[in-house]
Amino acid sequence: MKTAIIIGCEGQDGRIAFDLLLKKEYRILGIGRGTVRCAGIDWDQAIDITKKQDVLRLSKEVKADEIYYLAACHQSSQDRVRDESDLLRTSHAVNVEGLLYFCEGIKTYNPKAKLFYAASSLIYEGTDTPVQDEQTPFSPQSIYGMTKLNGLLLCRYYRARYGIFASSGILYNHESIYRGDNFISTRIIKAALNIKKGKQDSLVLGDLSAQVDWGYAPDYVEAMQRILNTAKADDFIIASGKKHSVRDFVRIVFGYLGMDWKQYVREDPGVMTRKRKALVGNARKLRQATGWHPTVDFRGMIKLLLEAQGVI
């Protein structure tokens, strides 16, 4: 029986990973913000991933076969801007520093462990390349993208210098029923449902023409495990390779609910704190290495999200 540690078990990908590995009969230790979730492991102590001694003690006592570093400090394009110095410190602590301690723990106590790090397509945010692959030059334009790139580079350093198995998945947008309220997919669905029930009159969005490479989160978590089962650690793009506009998302959601979206949705660029380029990922390297491909397309993803709400 394999043992896995999931860092960020309370987030979307962490919850999906926990359920996936549980079905595969793993022993699992999930680490959240001041909480732990266990399956087959006797551990009740909270772990602060930004404290080296906590992580090294965990690495010494729990010899995991697989470690999923899915924790992240993230800010959406419509969130109000926080104090940048505070955001940078927090982002570096979660997106980089904690990862460093887990790499040290593997190097020191558990060299056979395999680590997956969740990087982000925003490491390419400033690129002019229409479709990105693993050879596209990095060009982060935000604190989130910058720190996620630092995490990816840290994985490269540790596997080159110390030979540990540290792979990165460069994740493009992916949605599920667990998405937080600050993500546009959740905002659209919740608003549409409220409008349908008469609890809300309208939905205001910043940029209906914005285009996104969207995928279904359970597919992407499956890709994570496949990456850990490759013969050699590496960096892989996880993406659908197709882009759709926010308008497409809105139109399909309202269409499934039997409403004309144009009667309820309006655009106000003023709600955007920053505008992002359309990023589209080429997952050919991942397909060649693992045979992975998305099982749910864009429309199918939206249908599943609405079915989970019991409305279709």
| pLDDT single digits (tens) 55-69 | 999 999 999 999 999
Q: Which of 185, 167, 133, 143 is nearest to 298 (CA)?
A: 185
Question: What is the spatial distance between Cα 194 and Cα 200, in angstroms, rounded to a whole number?
Answer: 5
Note down the domain range covering 226: 3-177+216-241+280-295
Is the pLDDT assigned to residue 123 strictly greater than 60?
Answer: yes
Tokens standing for residue 115: 């680590």
In a domain, 263, yes or no: no
Residue with tokens 């505070």: 86
In a domain, 21, yes or no: yes
Q: Which of 239, 224, 236, 223 is nearest to 281 (CA)?
A: 239
Number of structural domains the chain divides into: 1
Amino acid at 265: V
In a domain, 57, yes or no: yes
In a domain, 62, yes or no: yes
Domain of 173, CATH number, reads: 3.40.50.720
Split at pLDDT 50, 70, 90, the class of 162 is very high
Q: Say if CB 132 and CB 150 are below 8 A apart.
A: no
Average pLDDT, the chain: 95
In a domain, 191, yes or no: no
pLDDT of res. 80:
56
H-helix or E-strand spanning residue 154? helix 143-162
Q: Are strands 265-267 and 235-238 parallel, antiparallel or unpaired?
A: unpaired
In a domain, 246, yes or no: no
Q: Which of 293, 149, 292 is nearest to 229 (CA)?
A: 292
The DSSP-derived string for 280-312 is -B--HHHHHHH----SS-HHHHHHHHHHTTT--
In a domain, 195, yes or no: no
pLDDT of res. 276:
79
Contacts of 2 (CB under 8 A, 6+ apart): 24, 26, 27, 65, 66
- SS3 annotation, 219-249: HHHHHHHHHHCCCCCCEEEECCCCCEEHHHH
Phi/psi of residue 162, each to 5°? -120, -5
CA distances to 186, 192, 202, 258 from 198, rounded to whole Å, are 18, 10, 10, 14
pTM, 2 dp: 0.95
In a domain, 249, yes or no: no
Tokens standing for residue 134: 């693993």
Tens of pLDDT, residue by residue over 226-259, are 999 999 999 999 999 999 999 999 999 999 999 9
- Out of 51-55, 132-136, 163-167, 271-275, least confident range: 271-275
> 23: buried, middle or exposed (CB in 10 Å: 19+, 13-18, 0-12)?
exposed
